[in-house]
Structure formats: structure tokens, C-alpha cells
Amino acid sequence: QSALTQPPSASGSPGQSVAISCTGTSSDVGAYNYVSWYQQHPGKAPKLIIYEVYKRPSGVPDRFSGSKSGNSASLTVSGLQTEDEADYYCSSYADNNIVIFGGGTKLTVL
């Protein structure tokens, strides 16, 4: 039940695109299409922005997109805006009916 692996930081300039990776195993990310991504601003609860690998909840801009290949998933933020600066976490359903989160990536908009 190890945490999913994310890079601790990522950055980009306004208008650019940035991708954040999330690496798991064949027991979680690789086995199920139940990868989610959350955005968390300081002092706030996490907000769901991607679920089931690529689906966006109502109200989430289409600048946010998700994908998966093998045991790794990725969140891409296109057309970076200053308000995108936040912590981003991935999660995955895993064998034995558990949910595993990543350690988080701090996105800085330069």
C-alpha cells in the first residue's frame, strides 16, 4: 500500500502547458481506470478536477486534462493561469478495495 509517486514540484509560465506524472503499479494505476486528480489551494480542502483518468466534473475548465499509460497517469494543465498555482494530488483505486494517494506536486506559475 505504498503511495503513488509524483514529482515534488513543477512550474510553468502563464499560457504555457505543464504535465504532472503519477506513477503506481500493476495493482493500482495499471489495473483500474479509476485515477483521479485533485487541486488544493492553501488552507482549502482538495477539489476534484479529474476522475476516471480523463473525465472532468462540471465546472472544471477544459484546460485540465488527464491520461494514463500502463502504470502511470498524467495531468496536463494547458494555458496556465496564475490561479492554477496550487498543490496537485493523484489517487487511484487499488486491489483489496483501497484508495491510494500520491505525495503531491506543487505547481508554481512563474
Partner 1 sequence: QVQLVESGGGVVQPGMSLRLSCAASGFTFSDHGMHWVRQAPGKGPEWVAVIWYDGSRQYYPDSVKGRFTISRDDSKNTLYLQMNSLRADDTALYHCAIEGGPMGSKIEYWGPGTLVTVSS
Torsion of CA 57, 58, 60, 61, to 10 degrees: 120
Neighbours of 18 (CB within 10 A): 19
Phi/psi for 84 (5° steps) reads: -80, -10
Q: Which of 81, 79, 52 is nearest to 66 (CA)?
A: 52
| Nearest distance in Å: CB 38, partner 1 | 8
In the list 36, 65, 71, 74, the residue contacting partner 1 (rule: CB under 8 A) is: 36
| Nearest distance in Å: CB 102, partner 1 | 6
| Nearest distance in Å: CB 71, partner 1 | 17
Binding site for partner 1 (CB under 8 A): 1, 3, 32, 34, 36, 38, 45-48, 51-52, 57, 87, 89, 91-94, 96-104
